[in-house]
Amino acid sequence: MNIMANFRTAARQRGQAMAEMGLVVLLFVVLTLGIIDFGRMLMVLNVITHAARDGARIAALTKFERWSGGALTGAELAAVQSRVRQQMGTVMPQSEADAFSVTPFKAAGGAAGEEASVRVQGSVPFIFSFPGLWGGSITVDRTATYRFEG
């Protein structure tokens, strides 16, 4: 009888160790996926900020005559939007980058020293989603400004 009691105790301890290991592994996996997602999100936000800055630089180099009522139109507008979305497409699917709003604008007038800005708005989805912990997407609204050089 003593041998059977020892066997049952050992089996219970193995079961307890397995349950504890399952909880620790689950916590470790969730923590690791969260760190990966957070790091990726920081990288994506940094690229979006850089893309907005690059678009503002292109807008600031556009001649004053191409601006109409504080906004770019035609080929110049398309060039700024294309450049910004192309850079964003390096870190996200191009379809997601194309869904972002890219708006160049400036103050009225057009004298040297005024500023051209580009505003980029949209949302970036998380890769991993755990209901109750994190998930969905993060809203992005970045504006970059350069002075006209003309």
The DSSP-derived string for the chain is: -HHHHHHHHHHHHHHHHHHHHHHHHHHHHHHHHHHHHHHHHHHHHHHHHHHHHHHHHHHHTS-GGGEETTEE-HHHHHHHHHHHHHHHTTTS-HHHHHTSEEEEEE-SS--TT-EEEEEEEEEEE-SS-BTTTB-SEEEEEEEEEEE---
Count CA within 13 A, CB hemisphere, residue 49.
6
Note the pLDDT tens digit of each residue in 22-48. Answer: 999 999 998 898 899 889 999 999 999
**pLDDT-derived band at 109, boundaries 50, 70, 90:** low
The residue among 131 and 48 whose pLDDT is bigger is: 48
The pLDDT value given to residue 121: 96
Average pLDDT of every residue of the chain: 83
DSSP readout, 83-116? HHHHHHTTTS-HHHHHTSEEEEEE-SS--TT-EE
Spell out the domain ranges in the chain.
2-147
Rounded average pLDDT over 75-98: 92
The residue among 109 and 49 whose pLDDT is bigger is: 49
